[in-house]
Amino acid sequence: MTGMAAVQITPVDPADREALLAWNALLRDGFNAGREAAWWASEESVLARYGDPRPGRTSVLLVAHLEGTPVGAAGAEADPGDPAEVEISVLPEHRRRGVGRALAAAVREALAGHAEIVQAETYSEAGVGFALAQGMRLGNQELRLLREMPLDREAMAGAASSVPGVEIRTWHGACPEELVEDWARLTTQMDADVPMGDLTRPASRGEVEELRRDEQRMDDQGWTLVRGLALLEGAAVGYTEIFVSRHDPEILTQDDTLVDRAHRGRGIGRALKLANLENLRAVPEAAQARWIQTYTALGNAPMLALNRSLGFRETDVLSILEGELAGA
């Protein structure tokens, strides 16, 4: 270990466009160093996010300099009552000199009074080692799986599946009005059901009004929501969702998929995912995608098997850590 260098930490004003974009690029470069097909928020979506923040949210944006050179960055967001989400990254050539530690201390100071619990995500051993040294605990791990795009039409046609009595409805963007109550109910159930290891669960989404606001915010940030809902004899029993960034469609994200407990093991999840991949074809930006990524909890064997059968392969492991803001 080298001696402690003089790290200088300065806040970034999210209203300063240039500074905000430089901060986002620095955070990305440190965080994604060495990773394959790693996604990061586009400039447009970052500008939109900080231009119209969630009401009540506390945002912390910091840059670390060593001898005048930017070497690391941190970001944190805290919604009242929820764990704060913290991101810290240091450029590879400047690691193990105390920059990360100094950023973490500054984040804790800035979040004081705005959160009690902090969570952080990492894809590296360095990140896990660092977070443990910060007094955090490993809360959950998920595999990130990647599949090359575009989808091969023939392979997909061969895989097409239908389940007796089940109708899959698909669309893009906001939920059709007649399905929004079902969507709200199922996403609330997802919040309760999704495996989260030892992590503190965030407050549930659920309210239709809140859901509509989130849809609007996602749209403002350039996201096209590609969605499917499964109806069994008219009752909603599952859903799935893919995010496509209009600004940066290179990597698509297959987000939540939920099938109601009572109806699992009948192929509804598979039928939903396939129908929604088919639905993706009608989204013009998706034609530019090179990858689709998805996350599955390490122990979720049925979902891993389903994803593998759809051509996804395991790429890296996301570790989510949690600790008290007061720290070690």
Ligand X SMILES: CC(C)(COP(=O)(O)OP(=O)(O)OC[C@H]1O[C@@H](n2cnc3c(N)ncnc32)[C@H](O)[C@@H]1OP(=O)(O)O)[C@@H](O)C(=O)NCCC(=O)NCCS
> Residues interacting with ligand X, by CB under 6 A?
1, 30-31, 88-90, 95-101, 120, 122, 124-127, 129-131, 133
Q: Which of 229, 255, 251 minimizes the C-alpha distance to 242?
A: 255
Q: Which of 253, 246, 265 minimizes the C-alpha distance to 291?
A: 253
Nearer to ligand X, 115 or 292 (CB): 115
Find the shortest distance in angstroms from Cβ 35 to ligand X: 9
Q: Which of 324, 328, 263 minimizes the C-alpha distance to 116?
A: 324
Find the shortest distance in angstroms from Cβ 97 to ligand X: 5
The terminus-to-terminus CA distance of the chain in angstroms comes to: 21
The dihedral sign for the CA sequence 48, 51, 57, 62: positive
Nearer to ligand X, 98 or 238 (CB): 98
Nearer to ligand X, 188 or 315 (CB): 315
Token pair in block for residue 148: 């090359």
Find the shortest distance in angstroms from Cβ 32 to ligand X: 8
| CA dist 56 → 61, 78, 79, 87, 205 (Å) | 16, 9, 6, 20, 16
Nearer to ligand X, 64 or 268 (CB): 64
Nearer to ligand X, 95 or 212 (CB): 95
Find the shortest distance in angstroms from Cβ 222 to ligand X: 25
Find the shortest distance in angstroms from Cβ 290 to ligand X: 23
State the Cα angle at 50 between 46 and 56, rounded to 5°.
140
Phi first, then psi: give them for residue 46, nearest 5 degrees. Answer: -65, -45
